[in-house]
Structure 1
Amino acid sequence: MTSNLTSPLFLLDCGSFNYHDLDVVIPCLYFAMFPLALMLNGVASWVSLHLSSTSTFMVYLKNLLAADLLMTLTMPIVAASKLPTSSVGLRLFSCRYSGVIFYTCMYTSITLLGLISLDRFFKIVRPCGRLLGQNLVFGKVLSVSVWVALFGATALPTIILTNQGASNKTDASCMSMKSPAGVRLHTVVVVFMDVLFWAVSILVVVCYMCITNKVLQSFRNSGSENSQGKQKTKVRVFLVLVVFSVCFIPFHIMRIPRTIQQTNNVNGCSQVSINIAQKVTLWLSTVNICLDPLLYFFLCREFKEKLMGMLNRKGTPSQITSGTT
C-alpha cells in the first residue's frame, strides 16, 4: 500500500483539482464506512456461529465472513495512515502490517467467493462433482489452503521485506519502506493477485450463468410457468454478478498501471488521474465488505431464517444446517 500524502504529486500544479482534499475525503469515507461494516459483519458472524458447518457451502461462507471481519478491523488504521497529518510511524505500521492484512483479506474474500460459486455449480449443474467438490473434509482443507497460500506466499514475505523505514516525512510512501527485494516482490504479488482476480471473475461468471440456465431449463422441462421463481433466479444471479463486478473490476483495471508508476518512480501531472482512480476504486472495493452480509440475508434462506429467528426470540429455533443461495 502506497501513501502519496507527501509525494511530489501533491506539490505539482495540475489544474484546478485539489489533491489535498482527496487525501482527506477518502480516509473520511473509510471512517464513515467502518461502523456500518463492523455492525453488519459482526451480526453476520454472530449468526454464522449458530449455523452448523455440515456442508462445503457453509464452510466457505464462514471463512468468507472471517476474511471480511478481519479486513474490517484493519480499516481504521489504514484510513488513519492515509491522512495528510498522519505520523511516519503510523504509515510504517500500516505499510508493514495492517495494510498488508487489509489487501490479503480482500483477495482471500475474492477467492472464497469463487469457491462458493463453484460449490453452487457442483450442487446444481454437475451433481456428479459432489464426490469431491462438495466433500466436507475437502472443503475445510481447501479453505485452510487458501489462507495459508495467500498469507504465507504474499503477506508474510511483504511484511518481512518492508523493513527500511522512512528516511524523512516527505518520502513516507510504502514503496520507500521496502527493500530492493521487497519492491520486486511487490510487483510479482500485484501481477499474481491480478491474475487470481481475473481467473476468479471468469469462474464466477461462468458458474452463475450455468446455474441460471440449469434452473430455467428445469422449469421448462417440468412444464412449470412459475414466472416468479424464474424472476427470483435471475435477480439473485444479477445481484451477485453486479456486486462482484462493481466492487472489484474498476480497482483491478487500475492496479497494473498504478504498480508500474510506483516501481518506476514516475511522477507528473499525467499520473495524477491514475492516483485519483486508484484511491477511489480501492475504496469502492472495500464497500464489498458491507454488501456481502446483505447478500447472505437476501440470497441464503437458512441465514435469513436463523437471523430472523434469533431476533424474534421465538424460543429456540430448530438447528439449521447448510443450504443453497
Structure 2
Amino acid sequence: ISKSIRDENQVSVLCLFLYEANPSLYSALNQSECERFSYNPYIVPALFFLMFPIALLLNVVAAWVSVHLKSTSTFVVYLKNLVAADIVMTLMIPMKAAADLPTTWEQLAGPTCRFFAVIFYNAQYTCIALLGLISLDRFFKIMMPHSRIFGQSLTMSKVISATVWLVLFGGTGLPNILLTNKSVANASLITTCMVLKGPEGVQFHEQISLLLNIFFWFVSVVIVVCYICIANRVIQSYRNSGSNNSQGKQKIKLRVFLVIIVFFICFGPYHIIRIPYTSQQVTYSKADCSPTYEHLRFAKELSHWLATTNICMDPLLYVFLCREFKEKLMSMMENSFKAPGKQKFKDALPC
C-alpha cells in the first residue's frame, strides 16, 4: 500500500512539474488522456429512446386509471400528482434524448438547456417529494390512524401537493430558465449548458444542485424510517392477534424491502455522482480537457438514465400500494375486454 501511495505522489509531483514547466505540453497530455477515455455518445440517448414507449404506455394507463379514481383519500391525491409528474417527465424524454445526440446538440442546445432539461429535472424532484409524502401518508394512517396531522385531510393534501409544484418549479425551475440567458454567436461553442449561463446562473446552478441533493437524502431517510415502522407495526399486529401467518409477515417484509431498494437503486447512484460532477461541470472548458470530468459525465448520464427508469416503476408501485387503484385498473380492463366477474384484492393496502 505504501508503495502505491508513493507512486501516486510521484505521479502528482510529475504532473505539477509538467504543468509549471510547460503548460501546453501538460494540456496536450491531458487531451490525450481524454481521448483515450472515449465512450459511444449514442449509448445513453439510445437507452432513453428505448425507455420512452414503455414509460409512455405504463403512465398513460396509470393516468387513465387515476382520472377515473375518485379523490376520496389523501393517498389518491398524492398518487394523482405523482402520475402527473411522471407524465411530464415521460413527455420530455424524446427531446432530452434527441438533444444528447452529437448530431443534433448544436440545434437543440438552446431550448433544451433553457426549458426542456429544467422541466425534466423539476418533474423528477417533484416525483421524489411526492414519494416522500406518500410514505408519510402511509406512516400516519397506520401508526396514528385517528390523527389529523400532516395533511390527513383532503384539502390539506391538495394544498401540500400544490406547494410542492410551486416551490420546485417556481423556486428552482423558473430562476434556472431566466438565468440561462447568455447568447453565443457560434452554437458549436456550446459544450455544456453552463456556457449559456452567466456568473449568477452558474452559481445558482451549483447551489441548487447541492440543495436538491441534500433534499433527496432527507427524503430517503424519511422513506426508510416510515416503511420500516409500518412493517414493524403490521407484523406486531399479527403477533398481538395470535396469528401464525408467517407467509403474510414475509410478504410485508418483502414489500417494504422492494419499495426501499427500488427507490435507492433508481435514485441513489445519480445523487452520489451529482455533486462531484457539478463541481467539475461549472469550471469545465473543452480547451482544457479534464479526464476526471469526462469520466464523471459518463457516470452522471448513465446514472441519470437509471434514475429516470423510476417513471416505469411508479405505475407498478400504485398497484402494489393501493387496493383501490388495483381494483379500478382490473375493473376497467374487464369492461374493455368484456370479461365477466369482479375480483377483490387483499394483498394491497387500502388507499
Is TM-score (shorter-chain normalized) higher than 0.5? yes
Comparing 290-299 with 43-52, which one deviates more in the overlay?
Answer: 290-299
1:227-238 equivalences in 2 (<5 Å): 227-238=246-257
Residue 41 of structure 1 contacts residue 293 of structure 1 at CA under 8 Å; is this kept in 2? yes
The structure having more radius of gyration, on CA atoms, is 2
Letter in 2 for 1:229: G
Deviates more, 1:238-247 or 1:164-173: 164-173
More deviation in 80-89 or 244-253? Answer: 80-89
What is the aligned counterpart of 2:271 among 224, 239, 252?
Answer: 252
Please, which runs of 5 or more residues in structure 2 have no aligned partner? 1-27
Conserved? CA contact 1:175–1:262, under 8 Å: yes
Which among 306, 309, 313 is matched to residue 284 of structure 1? 306
* Worse-matched range after superposition: 168-177 or 282-291: 168-177
- What residue in structure 2 maps to residue 84 of structure 1? 102
TM-score (norm 2): 0.84
State how far apart, in whole Å, the 1-side matches of 2:54 and 2:105 are.
Answer: 27
Greater shift, 223-232 or 61-70, is seen at 223-232
* 1:270 Cα deviation after fit: 2.8
Q: Which amino acid aligns with 2:284?
A: N
User: Per-residue deviation at 1:12?
Assistant: 4.5
What are the superposed Cα offsets for residues 248-295 of structure 1, whole Å, 9 maximum, x if unpaired?
Answer: 010000110011001122642233221111011000000000111112
Q: Structure 1 vs Structure 2: percent identity of aligned residues?
A: 52
1:144-183 equivalence runs, <5 A: 144-172=162-190, 173-183=192-202
Check whether the contact 1:310–1:317 (CA below 8 A) recurs between aligned residues. no
1:55 aligns with 2:73: yes
Aligned counterpart, 2:350: 324
Output the amino acid matched with 2:179: L
| TM-score under structure 1 length normalisation | 0.90
> Given the superposition, is the C-alpha separation of residues 129 and 25 from structure 1 closer, same or farther in structure 2, using an over 3 Å criterion?
same
Q: Residue type matched to 1:18 in 2?
A: S
Q: Is the 8 A contact 1:166 1:177 kept in 2?
A: yes
Cα deviation 1:117-156 (Å, max 9, x = unaligned): 0000000012353344311111000000000000000000
Alignment deviations for residues 298-323 of structure 1 (CA, whole Å, 9 cap, x no partner): 332211111111111158989xxx96
Which structure 1 segments of 5+ residues have no match? 1-7
Aligned positions of 1:1-325 closer than 5 A: 12-14=32-34, 16-19=36-39, 21=40, 23-172=41-190, 173-265=192-284, 267-313=289-335, 324=350
Q: What is the count of residue pairs matched by the alignment?
A: 313
What amino acid does structure 2 have at the position aligned with 1:302? Answer: E
1:122, 1:133 within 8 Å by CA — same for their partners in 2?
A: no
The separation in 2 between residues aligned to 1:161 and 1:235, in whole angstroms, is 45
Secondary structure, counterpart of 1:121 in structure 2: helix
How far apart, CA to CA, are the structure 1 residues paired with 2:237 and 2:349? 19
Q: Structure 1 pair 91/12, CA: closer, same or farther in 2 (3 Å)? A: farther
Distance 1:12 1:289 in 2: 39
Q: Partner of 1:98: helix, strand, or coil?
A: helix
The change in CA–CA distance for 1:55 and 1:274 in structure 2 (over 3 A counts) is: same
Q: Deviations over 1:68-94 (max 9, x none)?
A: 000100110011000000142311111
CA distance in 2, matches of 1:153, 1:263: 20
For 2:66, give the aligned amino acid: S
Aligned CA distance change for structure 1 residues 12 and 141 (closer, same or farther; 3 Å): farther
Instruction: Write out per-residue CA displacement over residues 213-257 of structure 1, whole angstroms, 9 at most, x where no aligned residue.
Output: 100111111111112221221121111101100000100001100
CA distance in structure 2 between the partners assigned to 1:154 and 1:178 by the alignment: 15
Task: Give me the whole-angstrom Cα distance separating, in 1, the residues matched to 2:132 and 2:37.
Answer: 39
Q: Distance in 2 between matches of 1:35 and 1:118?
A: 31
* 1:33-52 CA-partner distances (Å, limit 9, x unpaired): 00110010000000011111
Q: Which string of whole-angstrom CA distances, capped at 9 and with x for unpartnered residues, describes residues 52-76 of structure 1?
A: 1011100000000000000100110
1:3 is aligned to none
Q: C-alpha distance in 1, partners of 2:56/2:32? A: 37
- Judge conservation of contact 2:81–2:161 (CA < 8 Å) in 1: yes
Contact 1:123/1:130 (<8 A) preserved: no
- Name the CA shift for 1:139/1:158 in 2 (closer, same or farther; >3 Å): same
Distance (Å, rounded) in 1 between the aligned partners of 2:254 and 2:328: 22
Does structure 1 retain, via aligned residues, the 8 Å contact 2:71–2:77?
A: yes
More moved, 256-265 vs 152-161: 256-265
Provide the aligned C-alpha RMSD in A: 2.3
